[in-house]
Amino acid sequence: MRFDVMRTPGVEARRGRLTTTHGIVETPAFMPVATHGAVKGVSPWLLEELGATIVLSNAYHLAQRPGVELLQALGGVHGLLSWKGPILTDSGGYQLFSLAALLRVDDDGVEYRSHVDGRRGRFTPENAVEVQEAMGVDIAMCLDECIAADAPPARVEEALRRTTAWAARCAAARRRPETALFGIVQGGFDPALRARSAGEVAAVGFDGHALGGLCVGEPPEQTRDIAAATVTHLPAERPRYVMGVGTPNDLLTFVSMGYDLFDCVLPTRNARNGMLFTREGKLTIRNARHAGDPRPVDEACACPTCRRFSRGALRHLMMTGEMLGAQLASLHNLYFYLHLMREIRAALEEGTFPERARAAAGAWA
């Protein structure tokens, strides 16, 4: 993997290019989420049409079902997703955190009971890397220990210590140089611990670095404060990834800090619940006032949904529970996110990003 930064004078935000085995990702970039091997309701060819260049999946979930052997028989994760471009997989640290009642963590790794069939299993830093390499992903994530936002200081310190030790073990377990490996920064909501974690993880020598342990129940302003306090401790020559965020405002905010990669289920999850993003702000398509509206969701939008369907038609599909309604809403929201990232990259190239970010601030709060 190669990462080139085209610097923008006067701002921390940067325009970059990430070159992987399966293609190039222009950054800053948003990664649609295909946790179980598919972006919900959106085919891979439509993702390409929307402008996606990289997608994110989850190694823990894919290891549970269909399993690594079946996945390899299907052509790896690229074959399963029918996706020709780059794929990043999360190792599953956050997912294991969310399944806390089913696991036990010690210094060696994580003992869990599968949420799929109840089988006992063990996840270690070594097999987290082995599984992701076997899947044929372009970017693999280290195994880290993610904890709750209200965890006591001693628990935060313990998770940081384990995350650092596991990072070194992940790096030592690498066997496929074509699979990039990113380290993950933890440290709760203590800026000093975040700085320490960033320094320790960066010292291992990864291809990129991610900010983990956010969006776990903390207020949004606390997320932003920690991201801002951490970014200066991450190597500028490597890609920086904020995991699991967020709203369009979040993307603008974190890009302005100097982060490069983002993922979130928000565009498709909100779409399935009838909340759509437009240039004028958020729109709740289920509201009765849209029933007879012949306009598209966003008159300035060129997505397939806005080109062919009215607000009234989309509302009808959503209210009657037709699968097409959720699919069309998801197409629109993903296009909105991906188009926003294209506009951000263009603004960085033109030197107008600060003005663009200020003009949009608060529109999607």
d(CA 116, CA 109): 20
pLDDT band at 27 (very low <50, low <70, confident <90, very high): very high
- Residue 56: the pLDDT is 98
- Contact present, 166 and 125 (Cβ < 8 Å): yes
Closest by CA to 189, choosing from 240, 141, 155, 235, is 155
The answer to whether 150 is a known catalytic residue is: no
- Contact present, 213 and 187 (Cβ < 8 Å): yes
Residue 185 corresponds to which tokens in the numbers above?
């920064």
Catalytic residue among 138, 260, 263, 298: 263
Catalytic residue among 90, 144, 260, 298: 90
Name the more confident of 44 and 8: 44
Q: What are phi and psi of 363, to 5 degrees?
A: -65, -30
pLDDT band at 7 (very low <50, low <70, confident <90, very high): confident
| pTM as predicted | 0.96
- Contact present, 229 and 211 (Cβ < 8 Å): no
d(CA 56, CA 30): 10
Closest by CA to 167, choosing from 142, 186, 188, 146, is 142
- Three-state DSSP at 190 gives coil
pLDDT in tens, 44-55: 999 999 999 999
Strand order, beta sheet including 23-27: 2-6, 15-20, 23-27
pLDDT in tens, 216-267: 889 999 999 999 999 999 999 999 999 999 899 999 999 999 999 999 999 9
- Residue 94: the pLDDT is 78
Percent of the chain past pLDDT 70, that is, above it, reads: 98
d(CA 192, CA 171): 24
Q: What are phi and psi of 197, to 5 degrees?
A: -60, -45
- Residue 363: the pLDDT is 76
d(CA 4, CA 20): 12
pLDDT surpassing 80 at residue 99: no
Neighbour count for residue 357 (Cβ, 10 Å)? 19
- Residue 14: the pLDDT is 95
Handedness of CA 257, 259, 265, 268 (dihedral sign): positive
pLDDT in tens, 117-142: 888 889 999 999 999 999 999 999 99
d(CA 26, CA 48): 14
User: Hey, what domains does the chain have and what are their CATH numbers?
Assistant: 2-264 (3.20.20.105), 265-355 (no CATH)
Interior angle at CA 175, CA 173 and CA 180, nearest 5: 90
Name the more confident of 114 and 36: 36
pLDDT band at 365 (very low <50, low <70, confident <90, very high): low
Kind and range of the H or E run holding 25 = strand 23-27
pLDDT in tens, 278-322: 999 999 999 999 999 999 999 999 999 999 999 999 999 999 999
**Mean of pLDDT values over 198-204:** 98
Helices (H) and strands (E) in the chain, counts: 15, 16
The answer to whether 263 is a known catalytic residue is: yes
- Residue 334: the pLDDT is 98
> What distance lies between CA 21 and its chain's CA centroid?
19
Neighbour count for residue 257 (Cβ, 10 Å)? 18
Average pLDDT in the chain: 95
d(CA 170, CA 149): 25
Residue 319 corresponds to which tokens in the numbers above?
């209210």
Percent of the chain past pLDDT 90, that is, above it, reads: 87
**Mean of pLDDT values over 318-343:** 98
Interior angle at CA 88, CA 199 and CA 173, nearest 5: 60
pLDDT surpassing 70 at residue 147: yes
Q: What are phi and psi of 17, to 5 degrees?
A: -140, 120
pLDDT band at 352 (very low <50, low <70, confident <90, very high): very high
Interior angle at CA 20, CA 19 and CA 23, nearest 5: 80
